[in-house]
Amino acid sequence: MQKQFEKKELKKKSDNLSDWYTDVILKAQLADYAPIKGCMVIRPYGFALWEGIQHYMDPLIKAHKVENAYFPLFIPEKFLNLEKEHVEGFAPHMAVVTFAGGEELKERLVVRPTSETIMYEMYKRWTQSYRDLPIRINQWNNIVRWEKRTYLFLRTSEFLWQEGHCAHNTHKESVSEVRWALDMYKETYQNLLALYGVAGVKSESEKFAGAKKTYTFEMLMPDGKALQGCTSHDLGQNFAKAFHWTVQDEKGQPLYPWQNSWGFSTRSIGGLIMAHGDDQGLIMPPNIAPIQVILIPIPGSSPKTIKYAIAQREALKKIGIRVKCDDKDGESAGFKFNKWEVRGVPIRLEIGDKEAEEGIVTAVARDTMQKKKVSIDEISGMLETIQQNLLETHKKFTLDHTHTVESYDHFKKIMAGERGFISAFWCEDASCETKIKAETKASNRCLPLDLPAGRQVPKEEKGTCVHCGKPATHRWLFAQAY
Amino acid sequence: MQKQFEKKELKKKSDNLSDWYTDVILKAQLADYAPIKGCMVIRPYGFALWEGIQHYMDPLIKAHKVENAYFPLFIPEKFLNLEKEHVEGFAPHMAVVTFAGGEELKERLVVRPTSETIMYEMYKRWTQSYRDLPIRINQWNNIVRWEKRTYLFLRTSEFLWQEGHCAHNTHKESVSEVRWALDMYKETYQNLLALYGVAGVKSESEKFAGAKKTYTFEMLMPDGKALQGCTSHDLGQNFAKAFHWTVQDEKGQPLYPWQNSWGFSTRSIGGLIMAHGDDQGLIMPPNIAPIQVILIPIPGSSPKTIKYAIAQREALKKIGIRVKCDDKDGESAGFKFNKWEVRGVPIRLEIGDKEAEEGIVTAVARDTMQKKKVSIDEISGMLETIQQNLLETHKKFTLDHTHTVESYDHFKKIMAGERGFISAFWCEDASCETKIKAETKASNRCLPLDLPAGRQVPKEEKGTCVHCGKPATHRWLFAQAY
């Protein structure tokens, strides 16, 4: 552990979320600022979270017959220029290589801000007939989007992600892929990261640059602001047309493939940190926790007790629990408790002479801080309970801060106060969206798709736009966004 | 499969290694040329090889208490300038971002050609005392070194690798780490990729830019040229001094940490392809093969036979064999045999009505092309045999083409003919090395360290330099290099 950790107390989440957020990331050694503006270093404890996400998600992607590959880091600028909306969206964030191998480049190379253009150029070369579709490829890589204002994990000029890119013979197939990806992301957030959220479709002005439709998963943070957790895009035939990519259909006619892309990034770790932590530090959901159980033999224990502690560690390892024993010399028990609380380890086991004699352990759950004597067999169940509690707590928080609103006064009042999700009728006119954002800071997050099973599109309702009063058919979700 | 595959026959390895190499990579769909000069796309079948290497090596790295992390893609140019030899080595290969976020950058950013400088800047911030060492971090990432002449997998302007970077309190500890990495690489080459080679230490002129000593693993390719498979560097205190990084030692005095770095890249896949393939295509060593067994139901078989084939596939899957059934319509058996031979699948199983009746399968081993009727239980053993045979064949080839040479005439004669490894006394004067290379194309590969157990440095012998005739104490290995 760094000295900085020992010297300074952690800032309080209850005082200021933003200060705490940065402080806990640095002190728990998840990440650090890099000596390059807007970039961060993901330290081992933070990177283990990303590995956890990869280990969970990669098999789901492969089971869906999507194969991993690797495409170049550099994209010729002319490729990005081919799809008009796409280049307009990304131009302000591009980092450009102009000099390489000792000379000025004739063609400027953009460090990939996303890989649609380079991948589809290759797909075009690899396919001739409808029989060559679907083509389904994913890559885990690094992405660069230059940002003026950055925030550890949530917005950095370089980040890590996976990007899936598929092409199909029909729009229906492609849309089904888009929805599959959205469901997979939702499952990852809920089951792995214990984060509740709302899946939905973006409005025209908020969709991805070049997409026909963008799907999203939006989560509420403790300060009442929303975090976009991932996106999944129905690209229609936009890119195929821009790249003049056709395959022969069954009748020998040219067909523009229907495409989709979907991405999930290290930003998700920002959500995890922000939603679950408390004044004592991080709280790691057990399913993703790099260390699920920290075992601390009380300093001054007898050799017999130390032996007992080691035996408990081995027993836990044997049943697949990620456990670590902190028997470092020269640190007090209190110091160690504090250290692992900051790092959010779900369960702490204290083992002293008394525990060894009784053949039990004293366990402290990180979420409730409740202490109890248990046998080692109960640890798995405790981890499951913590995982479930964290998701339930976040779900309850989200629902408690989701406001169904009928008037613009009410809308403004909420945004001036506690914020949260606002469900309101909107006329689907972009000018209302813009004004709402300018006046309240709340942007349009999505049209929620959390629907009764079997229904694909929300039923039309009769309503009036919360801003202009014109007729509206659906309630959209608004919030101030990260 | 691409149409190109159906249309053209594969070039012959026995005619021209280099033409075959490129052709088989494209036709087996391991990789393709990217529309960026010097860059390649690693296609799913090729990327599966890299994933195989990661899955094998990552647990070995972690078991050695090296943790994964992620450091930025961009390195401020001034960092690279801090270690003089380091920047001189990399300057001609740098790609530089000069423009980002819509404006000219004040500080030019180099796309990482290796991460020593950015990592050690952070290590310096994270450590204060000898107690904070060792620090052991690895990252799997992408690297850019601009190259004028490129070659798929073997030399591309962007490649993938892992880079391990450790810092220790003593030189002894650091060297032991360097040797551990070298052993791990050797094990990976031999056990996973079935490649034999020679581990050794580089001469002064061939070592890494900024290192005290560089260790290497050198393999012989079928054309008698050598491939450097990986490197592991004893960095001494060079970088610590360049970065003014000290920690307090046990007596409170400043100590420059002893560092090492070690890397293994996608280049290894080039060696794998080149060494094992034949005129029919690739030969994948079973331990790394993305598909170990291809099962082909003979077209026109009865539904009962198809059912039998599926049952065999499931039985193989159950015992952990990576098996695929090619029951695609519209392709002849011969076409399918050819397709999977090009892709180097170690075992082909042909299943027709006769096999189904007898309850066996007809198996063809890719390396020997021998066909025999076997029961499904024999497949695991066959895979093991193929793996072993490939390594033995490569070892025999290497030893058969390793020449112990006493005179420079003999040296030149071998290099003008079959080439291979040449073991010769050398006076350790760089000017002899330079002249030998200019006159014969053979560069100094290493001082071999494949020694009887327990001996760390080759015993001194009495000899005379093969070039200048001055006294020499060791035989070094020479070869023309890729």
The CATH number of residue B421's host domain is 3.30.110.30
- The reply to whether A13 and A146 lie within a common domain is yes
- Output the CA angle A185-A191-A197, nearest 5 degrees: 55
pLDDT in tens, A172-187: 999 999 999 999 999 9
Cβ of residue B103 closer than 8 Å to a chain A Cβ: no
What gap in Å lies between CA B287 and CA B39, rounded to an integer? 28
Phi and psi for B16 in degrees, rounded to 5?
-155, 110
What gap in Å lies between CA B448 and CA B452, rounded to an integer? 12
- The reply to whether A52 and A200 lie within a common domain is yes
Taking all residues of chain A, what is their mean pLDDT, rounded to a whole number? 94
Q: Which helix (H) or strand (E) holds B104?
A: strand B103-111
> Could you report how far apart the first and last alpha carbons of chain B are, in Å?
30
A182 Cβ neighbours under 8 A, 6+ residues apart: A199, A215, A217, A230, A232, A262
Is B393 a member of any domain?
no
Cβ of residue A417 closer than 8 Å to a chain B Cβ: no
Is B285 a member of any domain?
no
The CATH number of residue A374's host domain is 3.40.50.800
**Which residues on chain A are in Cβ contact (under 8 Å) with B92?**
101-102
Percentage, residues of chain A above pLDDT 70: 97
Among the candidates A331, A354, A382, a domain finishes at: A382
pLDDT in tens, A103-149: 999 999 999 999 999 999 999 999 999 999 999 999 999 999 999 88
The CATH number of residue B47's host domain is 3.30.930.10
Give the pLDDT score at B187.
97
Say yes or no for a CB contact (<8 Å) between B94 and A100: yes
- The reply to whether B18 and B123 lie within a common domain is yes
- The reply to whether A340 and A195 lie within a common domain is no
Name the one residue in this structure whose structure tokens are 């065999």.
Answer: B312
Give the residue among A247, A243, A262 at the shortest CA–CA distance from A84.
Answer: A243
Reported confidence tier of residue B451, pLDDT bands at 50, 70, 90: low
Is A287 a member of any domain?
no
Could you tell me the CA-to-CA distances from A228 to A42, A147, A458, A481, B425 in Å, in that order?
21, 17, 21, 8, 65
The yes-or-no verdict on residue B155 having pLDDT over 80 is: yes
Give the pLDDT score at A84.
83
Minimal Cα distance from A70: which residue of B? B42
- Count of domains forming chain A: 3
- Residue A97: how many CB atoms within 10 A of its CB? 24
| A290: preceding bond cis by omega (within 30 degrees) | no
Is A71 a member of any domain?
yes
- The reply to whether B264 and B304 lie within a common domain is no
What gap in Å lies between CA B283 and CA B346, rounded to an integer? 7
CA–centroid distance for A247 within its chain: 35
Is A43 a member of any domain?
yes
**Which residues on chain B are in Cβ contact (under 8 Å) with A98?**
96-99
- The reply to whether A269 and A298 lie within a common domain is no
Give the pLDDT score at B459.
82
Amino acid residing at A249? D
Amino acid residing at A447? L
Which of A39, A125, A126 is the closest to B74 by Cβ?
A39
CA distance A77 to chain B (A): 11
CB contact at 8 A, A384 and A286: yes
Give the residue among B227, B194, B199 at the shortest CA–CA distance from B394.
Answer: B194
B458 Cβ neighbours under 8 A, 6+ residues apart: B447, B448, B449, B451, B474
Give the pLDDT score at B455.
56
Minimal Cα distance from A156: which residue of B? B72
Reported confidence tier of residue A452, pLDDT bands at 50, 70, 90: low
Instruction: Show which of residues 191-230 on chain A sit within 8 Å of chain B, judged by CB atoms.
Output: none
- The reply to whether B31 and B143 lie within a common domain is yes
CA distance A11 to chain B (A): 20
Phi and psi for A200 in degrees, rounded to 5?
-165, -175
CA distance B21 to chain A (A): 20
- Residue B27: how many CB atoms within 10 A of its CB? 21
**Which residues on chain A are in Cβ contact (under 8 Å) with B164?**
none
Minimal Cα distance from B328: which residue of A? A131
Name the one residue in this structure whose structure tokens are 């319509």.
Answer: B329
- The reply to whether B220 and B364 lie within a common domain is no
Taking all residues of chain B, what is their mean pLDDT, rounded to a whole number? 94
pLDDT in tens, B278-334: 999 999 999 999 999 999 999 989 999 999 999 999 999 999 999 999 988 889 999
Residue B432: domain span: 400-479
B42 Cβ neighbours under 8 A, 6+ residues apart: A69, A70, B30, B31, B50, B160, B266
Name the one residue in this structure whose structure tokens are 């936009």.
Answer: A238
Give the pLDDT score at A328.
86
Own/partner pairs, B171-177, CB within 8 angstroms, 24+ separation: B171/B234, B171/B236, B171/B258, B173/B134, B173/B258, B174/B234, B174/B235, B174/B258, B174/B259, B174/B260, B175/B234, B175/B260, B177/B134, B177/B136, B177/B260
CB contact at 8 A, A201 and A215: yes
What gap in Å lies between CA A386 and CA A61, rounded to an integer? 27
Is A388 a member of any domain?
no
Tokens describing residue B163: 């880079």
What gap in Å lies between CA A448 and CA B71, rounded to an integer? 37
pLDDT in tens, B227-251: 999 999 999 999 999 999 999 999 9
Q: How many residues does chain A have?
A: 482
Cβ of residue B36 closer than 8 Å to a chain A Cβ: yes
The yes-or-no verdict on residue B453 having pLDDT over 90 is: no
Say yes or no for a CB contact (<8 Å) between B98 and A98: yes
Q: Following CA atoms A146, A147, A150, A152 in sequence, which dihedral angle do they give, to the nearest 10 degrees?
A: -30
What gap in Å lies between CA A336 and CA A277, rounded to an integer? 18
Tokens describing residue B222: 């079928």
What sign does the dihedral A440-A444-A445-A449 (CA atoms) show? positive
Among the candidates A276, A310, A343, a domain finishes at: A276
Tokens describing residue A166: 């598929």
Give the pLDDT score at A334.
93
CB-based burial, B241-273: b 16+ in 10 Å, e otherwise: ebbebbbeeeeeeebbbbbbbbbbbbbbbbbbb
Say yes or no for a CB contact (<8 Å) between B36 and A76: yes
Cβ of residue B35 closer than 8 Å to a chain A Cβ: yes
What gap in Å lies between CA B295 and CA B306, rounded to an integer? 11
Cβ of residue B42 closer than 8 Å to a chain A Cβ: yes
Reported confidence tier of residue B3, pLDDT bands at 50, 70, 90: very low
- The reply to whether A371 and A420 lie within a common domain is no
Instruction: Tell me B212's DSSP state.
Output: S
Instruction: Show which of residues 447-466 on chain A sit within 8 Å of chain B, judged by CB atoms.
Output: none
Q: What is the mean pLDDT of residues B360-379?
A: 97
CB contact at 8 A, A379 and A324: no
The yes-or-no verdict on residue B8 having pLDDT over 90 is: no
- The reply to whether A259 and A404 lie within a common domain is no
What gap in Å lies between CA A254 and CA A262, rounded to an integer? 26
Minimal Cα distance from B127: which residue of A? A2
CA distance B267 to chain A (A): 14
Cβ of residue B98 closer than 8 Å to a chain A Cβ: yes
Say yes or no for a CB contact (<8 Å) between A70 and B48: no
Instruction: Tell me B278's DSSP state.
Output: B
The yes-or-no verdict on residue A2 having pLDDT over 60 is: no
Give the residue among A167, A150, A169, A166 at the shortest CA–CA distance from A158.
Answer: A150
Give the pLDDT score at A7.
43
Is B388 a member of any domain?
no
Helices (H), A260-378: 267-276, 303-318, 333-342, 353-358
CA distance B184 to chain A (A): 21
By DSSP bridging, strand B293-297 and strand B323-325 are parallel
The yes-or-no verdict on residue A403 having pLDDT over 90 is: yes
Give the pLDDT score at B456.
63
**Which residues on chain A are in Cβ contact (under 8 Å) with B146?**
100-102
Name the one residue in this structure whose structure tokens are 């300093």.
Answer: A299
Q: Bridge-partner residues for A247, per DSSP?
A: A255
pLDDT in tens, A200-244: 999 999 998 889 999 999 999 999 999 999 999 999 999 999 999
What gap in Å lies between CA A349 and CA A366, rounded to an integer? 11
What gap in Å lies between CA A145 and CA A184, rounded to an integer? 25
Which of B39, B94, B137 is the closest to A44 by Cβ?
B137
Chain B interface, mutation test: which of A97, A106, A142, most B Cβ atoms within 10 Å?
A97
Which of B3, B44, B76 is the closest to A36 by Cβ?
B76
Interface ipTM? 0.95
Say yes or no for a CB contact (<8 Å) between B75 and A34: no
Chain A interface, mutation test: which of B7, B30, B73, B155, most A Cβ atoms within 10 Å?
B73
Give the pLDDT score at A387.
98
Q: Which helix (H) or strand (E) holds A415?
A: helix A408-416
Q: Which helix (H) or strand (E) holds B288?
A: none
Reported confidence tier of residue B209, pLDDT bands at 50, 70, 90: confident
Percentage, residues of chain B above pLDDT 70: 97
What gap in Å lies between CA B243 and CA B255, rounded to an integer? 13
CA neighbours closer than 13 Å in the CB half-sphere of residue B202: 23
Give the residue among B382, B356, B384, B380 at the shortest CA–CA distance from B371.
Answer: B382
Give the pLDDT score at A1.
40
- The reply to whether B325 and B270 lie within a common domain is no
By DSSP bridging, strand B402-404 and strand B371-374 are unpaired
Cβ of residue B315 closer than 8 Å to a chain A Cβ: no
- Output the CA angle A136-A138-A143, nearest 5 degrees: 140
What gap in Å lies between CA A198 and CA A191, rounded to an integer? 15
Say yes or no for a CB contact (<8 Å) between B50 and A32: no
- The reply to whether B409 and B345 lie within a common domain is no
Is A253 a member of any domain?
yes
Minimal Cα distance from A128: which residue of B? B3
Name the one residue in this structure whose structure tokens are 């079928």.
Answer: B222
Phi and psi for B458 in degrees, rounded to 5?
-60, 140
- Output the CA angle A281-A285-A291, nearest 5 degrees: 80
In terms of pLDDT, which residue wins out, A84 or B14?
Answer: B14
Instruction: Tell me B256's DSSP state.
Output: P
CA distance B8 to chain A (A): 15
Among the candidates A248, A276, A304, a domain finishes at: A276
Give the pLDDT score at B315.
97
CA distance A337 to chain B (A): 20
CB contact at 8 A, A264 and A162: yes
Among A291-295, A300-304, B403-407, the range scoring the smallest mean pLDDT is A300-304
pLDDT in tens, A410-437: 999 999 999 999 999 999 999 999 999 9
Give the pLDDT score at A424.
97
**Which residues on chain B are in Cβ contact (under 8 Å) with A158?**
72-74
Got the DSSP string for A440-466?
HSPEEEEEE---STT--SPPP--EE-T
Give the pLDDT score at A198.
95
Q: What is the mean pLDDT of residues B424-443?
A: 97
Reported confidence tier of residue B1, pLDDT bands at 50, 70, 90: very low
